Structure 1
Amino acid sequence: MAKLLLNLRYVPDDEAADVCAFLDEAGIPWYQTRPSPFGISSGGIWLRDNDDLPRAKALMAAYQARRQDRARAAQAQAERDGTAETFADIVRADPKRVVLIVIAIVFLIGLMAVPGYMLSR
């Protein structure tokens, strides 16, 4: 019976391609399902044989550790270069979104405070 190795929700294409490549290198049979047209399922990378799951998970853990190291190194380099995205960059790029998020946060905090205020009276 097939086992899901990787749910493809929010997975970039390059990561999915890397996973497929290291599964092929290791000789682990797999197949990929595509997302449904209505967004009910997001697709996935499945292993054909249950016995391959422990080895595939070990390979996946090693891959994710390497990817994490590369991402952290790239972020550190961007911070050293001064090209890393800051909050000010986000506000400049999309001020309406930031204002709406702040308003939503204030509204929700106020909504949570109402019961305490009502009980204290």
Structure 2
Amino acid sequence: MAELLFHLRNVPDEEAEDVRRLLDEHGIATFETRAGFWGLGVAAIWLSDDDEKERARALLDDYQQTLGERVRREHASLVERGEAPTLWRRLRRQPIRTLLLALLVIAVLAITLLPFLWLHD
């Protein structure tokens, strides 16, 4: 029976390729499924052999730990240089888009909460 190993939804292509390469380098047989045109399927990497689950999981856990540490170091470096993304930097770089998104959030909140506020009277 196939075993789900790694979901590919919202995973960057670079990370997915790293996972494929890692599993291939260690001789772990896998296959992939796609979400399909309408996105109703499961985009994932599956194990062909259930007996490899523990070894594959250990490899993936090590990879994700290493990736997390690297991303944290990169973010800390950006913060140190004053280049980390913040709301104010985004507002300066894309003021119209940021303000439109803020207005959209306010509109959704208003549409959601106004009926309850009207019931309170």
TM bucket, shorter chain: 0.7 to 0.9
Q: Report Cα offsets for 1:90-111 as digits up to 9, x if no partner.
A: 2233333322221122223323
1:1-121 to 2 correspondences below 5 Å: 1-41=1-41, 43-121=43-121
Q: Distance in 2 between matches of 1:55 and 1:16?
A: 18
Query: TM-score scaled to structure 2, two decimals?
Result: 0.81
Give the Cα separation in 2 of the matches to 1:34 and 1:120: 48
1:3 CA drift (Å): 1.8
The 4+ residue runs of structure 1 with deviation greater than 3 A are 37-42
Give the aligned residue type for 1:43: A
How many residues end up aligned between the 2 structures? Answer: 121
What RMSD over aligned residues (CA atoms) do the two structures have, in Å?
Answer: 2.1
Structure 1: gaps of 5 or more residues = none
CA displacement at 1:9 relative to structure 2: 1.4
2:120 & 2:10 partners in 1: Cα distance? 44
CA distance, structure 2, for counterparts of residue 106 and residue 40 of structure 1: 31
Identity %: 36
TM-score, normalised to structure 1, is 0.81
